[in-house]
Amino acid sequence: MSVETMTLGLPEDVDADPAGIRDSAEDLMETRNAMLGHSADLESGFWAASDEFTDAIAWDIKGASVSDIESWQAVAELLTGGSGTLDLYAEAVEAYREVRGDIQGRWDTYKSNALRRIEENGADTLTINGDTQEEAERTYLDTVRTSLLGEHTDARNDLDDETEDANKALREGPCKGMWQRFVDAGLMSGKETYLFGGEVYDTVDFSPAEDWTPEQVAQWWHDLAPNQQEYAMEEYGEELRNQNGIPSVVRDELNRDRLQLEIDRLSGSGTGHLWYQLEQMREIEESIEGDGALLLHFDPYVDGGGQVAVSYGDPDHAHNVSTLVQGMSNDMGAFEDPAARGRQIREAMENSEPGQENASVVWTGYDTPPGGGFDPTEGAEQLIDFQDGLRASHRGDEPSHNTVMGHSFGALVVGAADSQEGGGGLAADALVFIGGAGASVDNITDLSVDPNDIHVVEGDEDWIRHRDKLDSSDDHYGEPLANGEFFEDPNNPGESLGHHLDPEEETGHADYFEDEETLDYLGDVATSGS
């Protein structure tokens, strides 16, 4: 046999059509989704309705028997597992053909080079081994062919194993390892696998990176199966507990654990000189007693005296969520008054809309002045991320009505966050500036929230209304809220935008949250009122 007539001799290709296999997989998923009353876009629409499988069934679940439910779950599991199995097998066929094509291509290259050498040196020219060039190249190609066919045998054996696994999974249902492969291949999430009867390994890597948005963090968490979530809480509690986008109840559990660790440590022998830190921890502990309080943020040793955020009510399931941003000298060591204000706002929200779920958050998640400096834009960045996190972790058919309130210097932080040219906008439906020197902008239209949903609360007895711009050198504070220029409609001179409340007489800078008129007003605004 001449080199010219030599062939690699690969066995026949497998009789499989990956595109057709994927079409079959898609048909199974469409059948499942139709059975359960869902569109094919399951990932974007499924979790908003419920985290429970039986709540998603399209027929009247209340009238169904246990056996009916179990039957539908079994069918859904078979359809889901079958679809994933077919998708995996299609990938296996494509992987085999990629190897097969690579092997054939390498053979063609080896043979082409051998023919070139024969042409250059002459077929009958003797080599150093005494063989002709033709004989030497034929021997070389025989060795290459044996090696390449061995590679093909390995690849075909791998495909045969995949075929056997797929057949078994289609007959008997996927095993735990197969379900895990569905997740690893990105064919479904761990949560979806769990919902439809599958089981995955609990180990999971901590994926959120520093540049992840709260929406990405929330999606990562909700894609995990329950056992994976438990593993993540045990292994990555420190990383998760203050991570915006993680469910509020998860953050609360992890932060309470950390708080208790600090209390235990500071209560031990030889820690008497740390009595003030212990008092701080006790104060936080008291602030989260009762009222469905959730410790959303707890960073006791960050610069500025520590940072904390507490929600009275679950913001992830509330119809209305308010966030109160505190001002100067409000750190973790002075949380008693902010906590009381949070409870008062929650009560006002309940009085305004008793038939709805309401949550009132008190946020001191930034380094407040004077220690943290007087630039509100620094706190604004953290506030934006926190509010994005509340949006991302919220569950339900409709987003919550979110109101952000800023008191004193907190008003400047809120304004800086919502400034169109500064922070770029808050995830908020309404803003309330309470006793603020300004809103970090010169006009109400410079904010991202609709002016009709912007409110200023400032009393005649508040000393701050009598001050001019406090930082005119770099214009951080904007137009004083006491000036009419802030409310003026730039398109209609003489007309005003937004809303302004001048509370009862003798309402000073620190008295707004003791004034009944102000609290009623805040409760109405925070529950979509005017």
DSSP string, 63-103: G--HHHHHHHHHHHHHHHHHHHHHHHHHHHHHHHHHHHHHH
Give me the pLDDT at residue 102, please: 97
Domain that residue 32 falls in: 3-195
Please indicate, yes or no, if residue 213 is contained in any of the structural domains.
no
The answer to whether residues 184 and 332 belong to one domain is no
Residue 474 lies in a domain: yes
DSSP 345: H
Q: Judge if the upstream peptide bond of residue 214 is cis by omega within 30 degrees of 0.
A: no
Residue with structure tokens 């469409």? 30
Q: What is the pLDDT of residue 111?
A: 94
Domain boundary (160, 177, 195) is at: 195
433 falls within a domain: yes
Rounded to whole angstroms, the Cα distance separating 362 from 406 reads: 10
169 with 313, same domain? Answer: no
Same domain, 182 and 302: no
pLDDT digits (tens, 9 = 90+) for 292-304: 999 999 999 988 8
Residues 180 and 302 in one domain: no
Q: Tell whether 188 and 299 lie within a shared domain.
A: no
Are 166 and 297 members of one domain? no
Among residues 148, 172, 195, the one where a domain terminates is 195
Numbers of helices and strands, H then E, in the chain: 15, 8
Q: What is the pLDDT of residue 170?
A: 77
Q: Which residues of the chain are under the pLDDT cut of 50?
A: 39-64, 66, 69, 469-474, 530
Of the candidates 455, 466, 457, 462, the one whose C-alpha atom is nearest the C-alpha of residue 505 is 462
CA distance 378 to 511: 27
Does one domain contain both 179 and 323? no
What is the number of domains present in the chain?
2
Residues 298 and 163 in one domain: no
Q: Taking the alpha carbons of 109, 114, 115, 121 in that order, is the dihedral positive or negative?
A: positive
408 assigned to some structural domain: yes
In a domain, 447, yes or no: yes
Place of tokens 């380094």: 367
Is 276 part of any domain? Answer: no
Q: What radius of gyration, in Å, describes the C-alpha atoms of the chain?
A: 33
> Token digits for 349?
């929200």
Strand partners, 402: 321
Token pair 């009122």 in the structure block, residue? 529
Question: At which of 195, 223, 255 does a domain end?
Answer: 195
355 and 472 inside one domain: yes
70 located within any domain: yes
What's residue 53's pLDDT? 33
Do 294 and 169 fall within a single domain? no
The answer to whether residue 459 sits within a structural domain is yes
87 neighbors 19 (Cβ within 8 angstroms): no
Q: What is the pTM of this model?
A: 0.72
464 plus 333 within the same structural domain = yes
Q: Which tens digit of pLDDT belongs to each residue from 101-131?
A: 999 999 999 999 999 999 999 999 988 888 9
Give me the CATH number covering residue 475: 3.40.50.1820
